[in-house]
Amino acid sequence: MQEKRNRIILLFNANKGYDRQIIKGVGYFLQATQVNWDIYIADDFRADFKNFPVLTGDGIIANFDDPDIVDLLTDIEMPIIGVGASYSHPQDYPSVPYVAVDNDALIEKAFDHLYSKGIKDFAFYSIPPSKYCRWATERENSFNQILTKKGLSGSIYQGMETTLDNWQQAQKELVDWITSLPQNTGIIAVNDARARHILQTCDHMGLKIPEQYCVIGIDDEDIINYLSLVTLSTIAQGTEEMGYKAASMLQKLLLHKDIGMPRVLVGPKTIIERRSTDYRSVHDPYVMQAIHFIRNHACSGIKTEQVLAEVRLSRSNLESRFKAELGKTIHNVIHEEKFEKAKYLLVHTTLSINEIYQMCGYPSLQYFYFLFKKHYNQTPKEYREQGTHHLNI
């Protein structure tokens, strides 16, 4: 007798990285278990509200952060697994089996990352309260709880819900908030999209990241790093695990197993550290100015002489300041910055190595290979293959 083929509906808005990763986790479950599922998801990967009333199925996995989806499922008589945010109050959870991102663990991980850098002042850039963004309010609460526990104070700014019409005003008000913060403040953005606001605004106003302000986001949205001059440190959520667990729970329901009403919390996966939190506890203003210049121009082929001209100090003076603050020479810091750019491009882009060495300001491919092998004991090609392998695991 042929096994029944279950029709499963996925209700997500996969224009967002968060939803896409959850769907990927569902896919991992299908591949690992070979369950007999037919998956329905709209052609544009968005929750298909118009056609939903005529659909029938055997089970649903849905994004319960979206109140429109929740309303749609109120009277549906089939197994449903919800995926969404964690909540401080038990009564806020839906009455379905539920897999949630652990917001407390997310914000704690972001805070600990900044704290480990020597940051002493903290701020949180959030989103205006809305039924569509209850997860943001939960993250604000988590931030406040951490500060209270640590005996610290901090600033929370919700900003505006930005549109094309109000973007300039929103940016102006964001500048006012950022400049009201103490220098060397660590800012946790409620997600990567809001973190991009800060990166773009600071670049526009000449505010230095990470020398003056450190910024960390949440979501690991790759597109942010293509739209910003400063690459963003971020927290990769355990979204694939969430999708896998949700699919596993639904399969048990389809097999008529009693799973009760579980609430499964999934913590963050990892911190992806990039330039926006590459904070060095530097107090010398000349060294800070020099580092910022190096970070912006190292790959243009600058040498120590150009740094000296920018800062307007003698070589012996600035070198002694670098040695005191960083224990390194100006030349060392220039090459470190070029290597960091090269490593990022090798792992996160498909640019040829020939293109990468030129973008990083090396005079020849042979010289780039020689220096890279000397510093990392592997060639750029070997580094790319190893790094790409880890990204795909």
Return the number of other C-beta atoms located less than 10 Å from residue 335's C-beta. Answer: 16
Which strands make up the sheet holding 154-157, listed edge to edge?
154-157, 121-125, 185-189, 213-218, 233-236, 270-272
Residues 6+ positions from 82 with CB-CB distance below 8 Å? 62, 64, 94, 96, 97, 98, 99
Return the number of other C-beta atoms located less than 10 Å from residue 339's C-beta. Answer: 17
Architecture of domain 6-102+239-269: 3-Layer(aba) Sandwich (3.40)
CB 116 within 8 A of CB 278: no
Residue 362 is predicted with a pLDDT of: 92
165-208: pLDDT as tens digits: 999 999 999 999 999 999 889 999 999 999 999 999 998 888 88
pLDDT band at 226 (very low <50, low <70, confident <90, very high): confident
Overall fold of domain 285-386: Arc Repressor Mutant, subunit A (1.10.10)
Overall fold of domain 103-235+272-277: Rossmann fold (3.40.50)
Residue 377 is predicted with a pLDDT of: 93
The mean pLDDT of 325-344, rounded to a whole number, is 90
Q: For residue 393, is pLDDT > 50?
A: no
352-379: pLDDT as tens digits: 999 999 999 999 999 999 999 999 999 9
271-318: pLDDT as tens digits: 998 889 987 767 788 998 898 889 888 998 899 999 999 999 999 999
Task: Give the C-alpha separation, 177 to 205, whole Å.
Answer: 13
Mean per-residue pLDDT over the chain, rounded? 90
Which strands make up the sheet holding 37-40, listed edge to edge?
37-40, 6-11, 59-63, 80-85, 98-101, 263-266
pLDDT band at 222 (very low <50, low <70, confident <90, very high): confident
Q: Where along the chain do the CATH 1.10.10.60 domains lie? A: 285-386
The mean pLDDT of 252-262, rounded to a whole number, is 92
